[in-house]
């Protein structure tokens, strides 16, 4: 199974790393990191650890396409070459997936019209812009499209894909191998659980982050 994970500047590293860790141990999986050009990718937290081992001109098909998100990825949505490549790869996939605001990239490529999808809770209304049907769930499947909510939901999305592609037992075994058993100190992991002032704090963080991402380097 050939899995193409698209990387781009200003993306969120965990959107990629979470599902990558699951995909990397899938039986028979070949994971390829793809960007517009080969080489390092600067994600939004300043780690500078990500590297694309292929450019979009080197990959013309995949069984799975995965698009991570970022605080602001409008530069990707507005790139005709990348949009064309995403549509081309989607035509070959068994599964097309996203994490967080990666679904907005799929939407911008015209792939989610009439499709149920999710994204980070703060960006959920943006899916309607592209004709998608927003669903406030951690993982949403509609046909071959499998979208995950914000950031950490990428792990859930990848485990869901694993169960679909193989079987429940294989997915359960990999979940156990990764000891994916979240027990955070606070129960504020969704807007339904978080106080209003905490939600407002997050929106402010995202607003400032998006403004920073749009500034020239």
Point out the residues that are catalytic: 100
- Assess contact for 98 and 147: CB atoms under 8 A: yes
Residue 140 φ then ψ, to 5°:
-130, 130
Rg (CA), the chain: 16
Closest C-alpha among 72, 74, 66 to residue 33 = 66
Q: Dmax over Cα atoms in the chain, in whole Å? A: 47
Report how far residue 209's alpha carbon sits from residue 81's, in angstroms, rounded to the nearest whole number.
Answer: 26
C-alpha triplet 206, 70, 10: angle, nearest 5°: 105
**Residue whose token pair is 């294989």:** 170
């Amino acid at each position: 199974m050939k899995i193409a994970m698209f990387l781009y500047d200003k993306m969120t590293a965990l959107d990629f790393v979470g599902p990558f860790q699951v995909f990397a141990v899938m039986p028979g999986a070949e994971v390829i990191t793809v960007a517009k050009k080969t080489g390092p990718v600067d994600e939004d937290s300043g780690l500078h650890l990500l590297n694309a081992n292929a450019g979009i001109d080197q990959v013309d098909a995949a069984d799975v396409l995965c698009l991570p998100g970022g605080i602001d990825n409008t530069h990707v949505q507005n790139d005709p070459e990348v949009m064309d490549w995403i549509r081309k790869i989607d035509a070959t996939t068994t599964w097309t997936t996203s994490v967080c605001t990666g679904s907005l990239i799929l939407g911008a490529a015209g792939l989610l019209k009439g499709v149920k999808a999710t994204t980070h809770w703060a960006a959920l209304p943006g899916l309607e812009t592209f004709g998608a049907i927003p669903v406030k769930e951690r993982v949403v499947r509609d046909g071959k499209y499998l979208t995950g909510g914000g950031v950490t939901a990428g792990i859930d999305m990848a485990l869901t894909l694993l169960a679909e592609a193989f079987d429940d037992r294989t997915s359960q075994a990999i979940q156990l191998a990764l000891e994916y058993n979240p027990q955070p100190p606070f129960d504020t992991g969704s807007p339904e659980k978080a106080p209003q002032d905490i939600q407002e704090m997050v929106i402010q963080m995202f607003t400032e982050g998006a403004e920073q991402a749009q500034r020239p380097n």
